[in-house]
Amino acid sequence: MRQLRVWLLRFKGLFLKGARERDFAHEIETHLQMHIDDNIRAGVSPQEAKRVAVMKLGGVEQTKEAYRDRATIPFLESVGQDLRFALRQLRRNASVTFAAVLTLAVAIGANTAIFSVVNAVLLRPLPYPHSDRVINITTTSLLRGLDDLVLSDAEFNEFKEQTQTLEKMAAYASGALNLGDVAEPERIGGTEVSVDLFSVLGVTAHLGRTFTSEEDMPGYEPRVLMSYRLWQGHYGSDPNIVGKTIQLNGRNRLVVGVMPQGFHFPKDDTDIWMQLNLDPASRVLNAKYLNTIALLKSGVTREQAESEINAIYQRVREKYPQYYKNETGVRAGVVGLQEKNVKAIRRALLLLLGAVSFVLLIACANVANLLLARAAVRRKEIAMRSALGCGRWRIVRQLVTESLLLSIIGGALGLLFAFLILRVLLVGSPLDAIQIQSVKLDLTALGFTALVTLIVGLLFGLAPALHASKVDLNEALKESDGRGSLGGLRHNRTRALLVISEVTLSMVLLIGAGLMIQSFVSLLTVDPRFDAAHVLSMRLTVPGAKYPQNSNVTALYQELQDRISAIAGVQSAGIINQLPSDAEKSEASFEIEGRPFITDVDREDGIADYRMVSHSYFNTMGIPMLRGRTFTDQEGRQASPVAIINDKLARRFFPGEDPTTKRIRLRPDSPWLQIVGVVPDIKNQGLFADTSQEMYFPYAENSFGLPVMRTMAVVVRANGDPASFINPIKAELRTIDKNLPPYKVQTMEQVLAASVSKTRFTMLLLTVFSVLALVLAAGGVYSVMAYSVAQRKHEIGIRNALGAQSGDIFKLIMGQGFILAIIGVVLGAITGFALTRVMSSLLFTVSATDPKIFIAVALLLIVVALLACYLPARRAAMVKPIIALRNE
């Protein structure tokens, strides 16, 4: 308590300097006077009396100094002095300060922005209690990589009964529903969940309640929980919604609760939850559709859970071999919910974080360079202070205070930049809506910025400070201004090293950017094998309640297709169950007439993807027939069953033969299908992926037992902007059925753009960062060379006087810059070679060590470095001999 009071008083003492010092000077004066009086009374001469008094006191200034140290906090007081001095220095060198602060602000701003995205997406735990213990069960196989484990009812029950490491385990199956009986009917995401799901996640209802165990029993009528978003959007946040019914897929369902804002498990678009009504005694094995989520028992490690889960999985596989593909080396494992969510974007984000920290390092090197140059100019000042008894530590502290002040101003401005950068960044990002929402400049980001700012200040401040404080007093004081005896870069090793590292880092960044640009360009030049221009797509799902029969569904789609085709400006309309770039796909094994049926499902080539299309689909999408013909509009109704295959399938099974003379069938008990045509290998799995073997069937055909396709996509080719046909098409749809909402309404060009959005995002940011790096590095080279020339004016003047041609001088300076650039480029190439491997999974058709990119980037850097040397070199070449003499 007392100590606190003392420190408070001393702190206060920092600010009341003048009055206190006057007061104390007065006190000392009286003290001396009294002493002198006494001495004189004792018979000493006045001079001697004064001398003795001062000596006895121990010196007036010393006493004042000791008193001051006690009255304030000496350390803080000198910090205050340093700060004031630093501010003065920064103001005096306004241009240097401006350059440094701007450089730092951009670099720190970019770092803060990227960090806050990383923080929101990768680091911040999901908003569930125990989110570190919530896991998904996955499988890994050599063939398919990491996948979600999808289980049948019976298997889920076995897992649930056998597990010892999981506290709770819940199942869910996602789909979509038509929301009706509202102003704007809509297709919304819905998930069937087992009752434990909410307790695994630790989430309770915002309004009402979640499901009870009783409601989750088999046979219980379906009830619904809705999302906050749906509640607000369609029901005006009706506080009495619980207990009312809403219309889903044409049926009325009782609402039991509203979930909290932002809760959309498992997917961003999930707005409805219903009970799964899983039978604990179910023996159903052939329908695998359940995803699982589980809560680890506390204290159980991931490894323990993983080995147990895998053991159960292997037992289940052995028990029901007929339901598993004959694939070896499949393991079950667990993955944290968060890791799973960010799997797709994780690597790209980390890459960007790495890149942006490179930019920061380059910025540091640049500012350090500026400070070094300035420290050299201040050599005399520093030597003077040192001569006057200022310790080295004190000088370093002064200089570091200056650089910290710079970095703090830069950091503050950087925050502003970060705010602006984030706004632009998020618009073009491939993040989903929830992830974007969670990106904020929050306390963590502020802390990060503060930390980065301090580290940066020390990083670029300490080296120049240590360097500058190590002055040889005699040398420095003897020198006249501006002309050192130190020429050449050999004497500026620190600066040369800084420039080399800048070039190195820029080289690595440019290589990364070059690789991404190359990938993106390759992606853009990929021919999707269909013509996306002027095509609009939208999806529909026809509810079973209103359209129970397959024929009802077909009739609806047929009518819709006819009506759309009749709209003025529409060239044609087609139907397909899965659009190109859709994540989902359907596979089937097939048999070729006259050849042995490949029963071994493990053999990939016995399987093909299949799609259901209307006869006008290929025409609408601008897909030519390589062979044969497309379907007729009668096929699927009366005509004999037919199929179309793609080129890949044709080449694999009918090389040198005419496929249109062949017949295939999907099962021994289904009819033979005549192949009538061959289409090109359409990029159906996205531009990245190779096309699989494919079969196409008329969508209306169902004589061979494929499931009824209730969800279909409509594609429309129109004159002009396809988006302008959205409303007329919706109007046609309403005249057929007003409760049938179209969804995912997009032009095919948008669909394609979305499939490359991650690559585009990464490429754009990497390019921006590397251009920034290039500019900074060029600035670094320029400032070092310019400084070196300025320092060597004298020497160059003498060279000129001795007969050197201006061309020689020009070459000399250019040569020095060239050497710096070459060293940096070589080091950068080596570093790049080692580092770019981490991005190979983000690249497309280009190798991570593509020599073309490496060479192009190296040339670019060298040219830029030489350009940066040009001005200083020219200036050097024009130095007149007289200048050398004048400088004497």
Partner 1 sequence: MSTKTEIWQGTLALMILKTLDTLGPLHGYGIARRIEQISGDRLSLNYGTLYPSLLKLEQEGWVVSEWGVSENNRKAKYYKLTRSGRKQLAREEQEWNQTTAIVAMFLEPVEDQS
Q: Is 153 helix (H, G, I), strand (E, B) or coil?
A: helix
β-strand pairing of 331-336 with 743-747: unpaired
Q: Which residues of 597-609 are buried (b: 16+ CB within 10 A; e: fewer)?
A: eeeeeeeeebbbb
Of the listed pieces 60-68, 189-197, 245-253, 587-595, which binds partner 1 according to CB under 8 A? Answer: 60-68
Of the listed pieces 66-74, 387-395, 469-477, 668-676, which binds partner 1 according to CB under 8 A? Answer: 66-74
- Least distance in Å: CB of 13 to partner 1? 9
Q: Is 31 in the site for partner 1 (CB under 8 A)?
A: yes
The residues near 574 (Cβ < 8 Å, ≥ 6 apart) are 561, 613, 614, 616, 617, 618, 619, 620, 621, 714, 715, 716
- Main-chain dihedrals φ then ψ at residue 363, nearest 5 degrees: -60, -45
Q: Is 30 in the site for partner 1 (CB under 8 A)?
A: yes
Instruction: Indicate which single residue of 14, 21, 40, 67 sits in contact with partner 1 (rule: CB under 8 A).
Output: 67
- Least distance in Å: CB of 58 to partner 1? 3
Extended beta strands in 471-606, E state: 535-541, 570-576, 586-589, 591-592
- Main-chain dihedrals φ then ψ at residue 669, nearest 5 degrees: -100, 5
Q: Is 28 in the site for partner 1 (CB under 8 A)?
A: yes
Rounded to whole angstroms, the Cα distance separating 843 from 836 reads 10
Q: Is 25 in the site for partner 1 (CB under 8 A)?
A: no
Binding residue count for partner 1, defined by CB under 8 A: 28
Q: Is 71 in the site for partner 1 (CB under 8 A)?
A: yes
Q: Is 10 in the site for partner 1 (CB under 8 A)?
A: yes
Report the residue number, 6 or 555, with the smaller CB distance to partner 1: 6
Report the residue number, 71 or 781, with the smaller CB distance to partner 1: 71
Instruction: Indicate which single residue of 11, 16, 27, 805 sits in contact with partner 1 (rule: CB under 8 A).
Output: 27
The residues near 627 (Cβ < 8 Å, ≥ 6 apart) are 650, 658, 659, 660, 677, 678
Rounded to whole angstroms, the Cα distance separating 787 from 372 reads 10
Instruction: Indicate which single residue of 58, 329, 389, 655 sits in contact with partner 1 (rule: CB under 8 A).
Output: 58
**Single-letter amino acid code for the residue at 356:** V
Q: Is 66 in the site for partner 1 (CB under 8 A)?
A: yes
- Least distance in Å: CB of 17 to partner 1? 14
Rounded to whole angstroms, the Cα distance separating 207 from 852 reads 61
Number of C-beta neighbours around residue 630 at 10 A: 21
Of the listed pieces 34-42, 446-454, 496-504, 766-774, which binds partner 1 according to CB under 8 A? Answer: 34-42
* CA-wise closest residue to 714 among 741, 752, 679, 677: 741
Q: Is 18 in the site for partner 1 (CB under 8 A)?
A: no
Burial class (CB in 10 A: 0-12, 13-18, 19+), 502: buried
> Is the Cα dihedral 293, 299, 300, 301 positive or negative?
positive
Instruction: Indicate which single residue of 63, 565, 589, 739 sits in contact with partner 1 (rule: CB under 8 A).
Output: 63
Q: Vertex 548, ends 194 and 227: CA angle to 5°?
A: 35
Q: Is 76 in the site for partner 1 (CB under 8 A)?
A: no
Q: Is 17 in the site for partner 1 (CB under 8 A)?
A: no
Q: Is 75 in the site for partner 1 (CB under 8 A)?
A: no
- Least distance in Å: CB of 80 to partner 1? 20
- Least distance in Å: CB of 75 to partner 1? 16
- Least distance in Å: CB of 4 to partner 1? 11
Q: Is 33 in the site for partner 1 (CB under 8 A)?
A: yes
Q: Is 853 in the site for partner 1 (CB under 8 A)?
A: no
* 809 within 8 A of 877, measured Cβ to Cβ: yes
Of the listed pieces 55-63, 94-102, 656-664, 875-883, which binds partner 1 according to CB under 8 A? Answer: 55-63
Q: 853 vs 330, 459, 767, 769, 846, CA distance in Å?
A: 39, 32, 14, 17, 9
Report the residue number, 28 or 150, with the smaller CB distance to partner 1: 28
**Single-letter amino acid code for the residue at 211:** F
Q: Is 336 helix (H, G, I), strand (E, B) or coil?
A: strand
Report the residue number, 70 or 470, with the smaller CB distance to partner 1: 70
| The token pair that represents 707 in the structure block | 């499931």
Instruction: Indicate which single residue of 15, 17, 22, 37 sits in contact with partner 1 (rule: CB under 8 A).
Output: 37
Element (H, E) at 137: strand 134-141
Of the listed pieces 33-41, 121-129, 188-196, 375-383, which binds partner 1 according to CB under 8 A? Answer: 33-41
- Least distance in Å: CB of 397 to partner 1? 24
Report the residue number, 30 or 640, with the smaller CB distance to partner 1: 30
- Main-chain dihedrals φ then ψ at residue 704, nearest 5 degrees: -115, 25
* CA-wise closest residue to 201 among 293, 268, 110, 290: 293
* CA-wise closest residue to 438 among 123, 773, 79: 123
Report the residue number, 60 or 285, with the smaller CB distance to partner 1: 60
Instruction: Indicate which single residue of 17, 22, 56, 423 sits in contact with partner 1 (rule: CB under 8 A).
Output: 56
Give the contact letters, 768-807, x = binds to partner 1 (CB under 8 A), - = no: ----------------------------------------
- Least distance in Å: CB of 400 to partner 1? 30
Q: Is 59 in the site for partner 1 (CB under 8 A)?
A: yes
- Least distance in Å: CB of 89 to partner 1? 33
Q: Is 6 in the site for partner 1 (CB under 8 A)?
A: yes
* CA-wise closest residue to 272 among 193, 207, 190, 211: 190
Of the listed pieces 2-10, 150-158, 302-310, 552-560, which binds partner 1 according to CB under 8 A? Answer: 2-10
Q: Is 69 in the site for partner 1 (CB under 8 A)?
A: yes
Q: Which residues of 532-544 are buried (b: 16+ CB within 10 A; e: fewer)?
A: bebbbbbbbbbbe
Rounded to whole angstroms, the Cα distance separating 400 from 403 reads 5
Q: Is 562 in the site for partner 1 (CB under 8 A)?
A: no
Report the residue number, 56 or 629, with the smaller CB distance to partner 1: 56
Q: Which residues bind partner 1 (CB under 8 A)?
A: 2, 5-6, 9-10, 23-24, 26-28, 30-31, 33-35, 37-38, 56-59, 62-63, 66-67, 69-71
